[in-house]
Structure 1
Amino acid sequence: MKKFAVFGNPISHSLSPAIHHMFAELTGEDIHYDKIEAPVDGFEQAVNAFFADELAVGCNVTVPFKEKAFVLSEANCNPEAKTAKAVNTLHREGNALFGYTTDGMGLVADLLNATELKGKRILLIGAGGAARGVVQPLLGSEPELLMITNRTLAKAESIVTDIKHDAFCAVSIEEAKKQLPDVIINCTSASLTGDLPMVSDGLFSQCKLAYDMVYSAKATSFMNYAKEQGARSTKDGFGMLVEQAAAAFTIWTGKTPETAGVIQKLRP
C-alpha cells in the first residue's frame, strides 16, 4: 500500500481524499490517503513525521503551507513552483523531496476540456500567487498572446519580468479590452466574497470562455458578470481542482487517471 495525505489548516473541508481514492480505484492502485491538519507553526515537523513512514510516497499541500513546502523542496522543484515560490505537491524519491506546483497543469487541462488555447488571446486578471503558478503551463499551450492585468499594474509587470516570453505581457484593463481576449481567467479570490475582480464593460465582447479559478455550487459573481457582458460560455474552477490532483497522482504513480467521471460525481 502507498500512503498519501493532504496538509492544511484548516483541512476538514478537503475533497482530496475522495478524489485520490477514486483515481486509485480507476487505475488499480492500492493507496491510503489522509487529511492532516498541521499546526500553523509545525508544518515541517508534521511532514517529516509523515515521510518517516516507509510507505509514504507523497502529499498535497494547501493553505497556509505552500510557501513552507517550497522551502522544504526548493532544490528539487519544477519551474512553476520556482516562479510561484510555492508548492502544492511533494514527492519523495529516495531521500530527496521533490516539489511541484500542479495548479497550472490542472488549469490548462480543464480549459482544454472546454476550448482551444493554441493561437488564442488569453487574459489573466490578478497577479498573486495563483497567477504566478499558471503562467508557464499557459504559455506552453502556445497562445497568440498571454496578457496579465492587476489593480496595481507593477505587480503584473513584475511577473512578466520574472517569466520572460515574447507572447507574455502586462497590460491595463483598457489595453486588454482593445486586444479582444478569447479566454479571460479570474485568478483572484474576489468571488469568495461575492465581489468582482477588476473588469470593464466591453472586455468580454469577443470572449469565448470566462473562467473563474474559484468554484462553488452556483455561478460566481465573475461568471454572472461575464455572461451578462457577452461571454459565450463560463466555467468555474472545480474541474481545475480535480485536474491538478490528477497531475499530482501521475507524478506519484506514473498513471494518468480519467477525470471526467470524477468531476461529474463530486461536483458540488
Structure 2
Amino acid sequence: MDRYAVIGSPVSHSKSPFIHGRFAEATGQSMSYEALEIAPEALAERLAQLHAEGYRGFNVTLPHKLAVARLCGQVSERAQLAGAVNTLLRTEGGWQGDNSDGEGFVTDLRRNCGIGLAGKRVLVIGAGGAARGILQPLLGEKPAELVLSSRNPWKPEEIAEQFKPQGRITPRTHASLKGDLYDVIVNATSTGHQGFMPKLPGPLLAPGGACYDLSYGKAHEPFAAWARAQGAARIADGLGMLVEQAAVSFALWRGVRPETATVLAELRAA
C-alpha cells in the first residue's frame, strides 16, 4: 500500500487525513495517509529517512513550506513563484516540490462560492506567503485590476515586480486604500489566528461585492465580522480551498482528480 502523509508542527489538528482518506475511498486507491509531526530542526533528516522508507508523497503545512522548497531536487514554476511548497512528490533521487494552493483557491471561488474574478476589481489584503501562493492563478482569471495591500509598501512593490511576467499587480499600503471600492476582497493575512483584523480605512467593498478569507474556523471570524459590516453580498471562508487544494495534490500523486463536494459537505456538517 502506498504511503502518504501531511507533515508539519503542530499537525495533530490537520483535516488532511480525513480528506485524503475520503478521496482514496471514493476513487478506489490503495493508499494510506497519516499526520507526521516533524520539528523544524529535524526536517532534512526526516525527509531523507521517509524517502528511504518508501513514502510516495506529502502535504506540507506550517512551518515547513519554505524550508521544504530548499530541500527539493526539483520545484515547479508555480511553487517558485509562490516562494513555498505545499506538496511533495517522490522521485528516484529525492523530492519534487509543487504548490496546489492557488489552483485550489480559484477552483473554490468558481465551483463552490460562485465568485467570479474576470473583469472585477480585486483587492488582496496581505503580502506574505499565503498571498504569493494565489497570485498567479488569480491573474489568470483576468481581473480588471488586482491590488495587493500591506501595512508597509516594500513587500507589495517587491511582489508586483516579480509577478510582472504574469500580469499587472498594483502595490498599495492599507492606509492608501482610502476612497477605493473593490468587487472582491480576499483576506490573505494570518491576523485572524490572533483574533483581529488589520486596520483598514473606511468602506472598501463595492455594492454587491464579495469577501473571501483564506482562513477558516475561528480564524475566519474577525474577517467575517468585518465583511458583514462592509455589507458583503457573499462571505466565504477557506475551507473549500483546503479541500480543493488537497484534490490537486491527490491528482498529482494518483493521476485521478477526486470529486470534492461530498467531502466539503461532510466538513461543513462537522
TM range (shorter): over 0.9
The amino acid that maps onto 2:117 is L
Residue 58 of structure 1: CA displacement?
0.5
Residue 175 of structure 1: CA displacement?
5.4
Cα distance in 1 for residues equivalent to 2:2 and 2:177: 47
Residue 133 of structure 1: CA displacement?
1.3
Residue 27 of structure 1: CA displacement?
1.1
Cα distance in 2 for residues equivalent to 1:219 and 1:148: 20
Instruction: Check if 1:110 corresponds to 2:108.
Output: yes
Residue 166 of structure 1: CA displacement?
4.1
Cα distance in 2 for residues equivalent to 1:5 and 1:174: 42
Cα distance in 2 for residues equivalent to 1:108 and 1:200: 27
Residue 107 of structure 1: CA displacement?
1.1
The amino acid that maps onto 2:2 is K
Tell me the alpha carbon deviations over residues 118-156 of structure 1, each in whole angstroms, 9 at most, x when there is no partner: 222211000111111111111112222211011102111
Tell me the alpha carbon deviations over residues 221-244 of structure 1, each in whole angstroms, 9 at most, x when there is no partner: 111111111111101111111111
Tell me: CA distance 1:99–1:219, structure 2 relative to 1, closer, same or farther (3 Å).
closer
Q: Percent identity?
A: 41
2:217 equivalent in structure 1: 216
Cα distance in 2 for residues equivalent to 1:122 and 1:207: 13
Instruction: Check if 1:246 corresponds to 2:247.
Output: yes
| Range with greater deviation from structure 2 (178-187 or 148-157) | 178-187
The amino acid that maps onto 2:252 is I
1:169 equivalent in structure 2: 170
Cα RMSD of the aligned pairs, angstroms, is 1.8
Contact between 1:197 and 1:222, CA under 8 Å: does it hold in 2?
no
Cα distance in 2 for residues equivalent to 1:70 and 1:177: 37
Tell me: CA distance 1:82–1:122, structure 2 relative to 1, closer, same or farther (3 Å).
same
Residue 72 of structure 1: CA displacement?
1.1
The amino acid that maps onto 2:246 is A
| Number of equivalences | 266
The amino acid that maps onto 1:80 is R
Cα distance in 1 for residues equivalent to 2:253 and 2:198: 35
Tell me the alpha carbon deviations over residues 14-65 of structure 1, each in whole angstroms, 9 at most, x when there is no partner: 11111001011111111101111112210111111111133x2110111111
1:59 equivalent in structure 2: 58
Instruction: Check if 1:70 corresponds to 2:58.
Output: no
- TM alignment of 1:138-153, pairs within 5 A: 138-153=138-153
SS of match in other structure, 1:220: helix
Contact between 2:179 and 2:202, CA under 8 Å: does it hold in 1?
no
Ranges in structure 1 where 5+ consecutive residues have no aligned partner = none
Cα distance in 2 for residues equivalent to 1:120 and 1:186: 16
Contact between 1:181 and 1:207, CA under 8 Å: does it hold in 2?
no
Cα distance in 1 for residues equivalent to 2:230 and 2:149: 19
- TM alignment of 1:115-194, pairs within 5 A: 115-164=115-164, 165-173=166-174, 176=177, 178-194=179-195
SS of match in other structure, 1:183: strand
Tell me the alpha carbon deviations over residues 200-247 of structure 1, each in whole angstroms, 9 at most, x when there is no partner: 221013352101111116951111111111111101111111111111
Residue 255 of structure 1: CA displacement?
0.8
1:80 equivalent in structure 2: 78
Instruction: Check if 1:196 corresponds to 2:194.
Output: no
Tell me the alpha carbon deviations over residues 143-185 of structure 1, each in whole angstroms, 9 at most, x when there is no partner: 2221101110211111101111443211244654555211101
- What TM-score do you get using the length of structure 2 for normalisation? 0.92
Tell me the alpha carbon deviations over residues 95-131 of structure 1, each in whole angstroms, 9 at most, x when there is no partner: 3421011111111111112211222221100011111
- TM alignment of 1:24-35, pairs within 5 A: 24-35=24-35
Tell me: CA distance 1:172–1:64, structure 2 relative to 1, closer, same or farther (3 Å).
closer
SS of match in other structure, 1:33: strand
Cα distance in 2 for residues equivalent to 1:130 and 1:207: 26
